[in-house]
Amino acid sequence: MSIESLLRAQAYGLGFDLVGFTRLGPADTADRYEEWIERGHAGEMAYLERGAEKRRDSRRPFPGASSAVVVGMNYGGREPPGPVARYARGDDYHDVMTAKLRELHEWLSSHVGRDVGGKAYVDTGPILERDLARKAGLGWFGKNTNLINPTFGSFFFLGVLVLDCDLVPDEPFEADRCGSCTRCIEACPTDAITAPRELDATLCISYLTIERKGAIPEELREPIGALIYGCDICQDVCPWNVKFAPALDERSPYASRVVLAGKEPRQLARELLGMTQEEFSRAFSKSPMKRAKLRGLKRNAAVVLGNVGTPADTDILATAVDDDTPLVREHAAWALRQIAARSSPARRTRIEPPSS
């Protein structure tokens, strides 16, 4: 068997669902990416500007880098929708996939009898994984900007193992199979998909609930609806996911952890608002949700209760108005005003925002 066949089989054996090979070199989308940053669409994500040389040319991670193994790993597009995006309900994909890619790297070195130079990337460096994935034949760029695979949909993580050995590349995926469909664009609650394959991250619910560190603009709070962390809407409506997204194995590291499993938005929001730092650290150990920190999740929980809460939620929100963090206090006060307006529209009880 060829080394490519053996590598592919080994990758599947490690739990990856998609595997492709490509040669490294100048990135097709680097210029467009940098224009996107210059337009301010990255918002507060200043880290996206780093490592421009490696981003422009994927041979730059280390001397001699020439090929890449590109993998995809299912995270459960058939799971029911909920207040937390599917990708974040289980263990952190960065850790899970990086460990598997390093194991693949070790196997390759052992098999060929030399220390093969290599470096794993899972959304943690300047490498444009999506660009390499298309070149490795794994799919095309959908109008929602996600990579879509014709037999798998888009509910999968991408990872790259950069190597200093030559692999026979797979054929790039050249077709655009979105056709005239614009469901993802039309479904976005905040109009974050400003044109086909153009996303203004500063409007995206995933950005607002995860990457944005300060207050969520008031005009964007109601469109967030019942979403506490992330958003799957543009993927949920995609016909390729409706038809092809695979189920999640119950043994998957991305299966929902107990603190999230089956929770309705109001229930989860109340639990988050009542959490201590110690409880948060214990409940979300090895979870990608730690990225937002407890104050960010409490902020998001307050917004959700402001959108879907009832007078029964005013107790937990009244407590949150006295939170140590101004960010939480401000959003809790907003939520109380929203609930008051809904429950007594004639009186529209006024609750003043707390001082910072």
Q: What does R_g of the chain's alpha carbons equal in angstroms?
A: 22
CB 240 within 8 A of CB 153: yes
Q: pLDDT (tens digit, 9 = 90+) per residue, 254-289?
A: 999 999 999 999 999 999 999 999 999 999 999 999
Q: pLDDT (tens digit, 9 = 90+) per residue, 136-153?
A: 999 999 999 999 999 999
Catalytic site residue 191? Answer: no
Instruction: Give the per-residue pLDDT at 248.
Output: 96
Bridge partners, residue 198, by sequence: 195
Q: pLDDT (tens digit, 9 = 90+) per residue, 115-126?
A: 999 999 999 899
Q: Is the pLDDT of residue 342 over 70?
A: yes
Catalytic residue, chosen from 123, 170, 249, 315, is 123
| Gap between the Cα atoms of 197 and 79, Å rounded | 25
Give the confidence band of 353 by pLDDT, cuts at 50, 70, 90: low
Instruction: Give the per-residue pLDDT at 344.
Output: 77
Q: Is the pLDDT of residue 32 over 60?
A: yes
Domain ranges across the chain:
3-163, 190-230+257-343
Instruction: Give the per-residue pLDDT at 349.
Output: 45
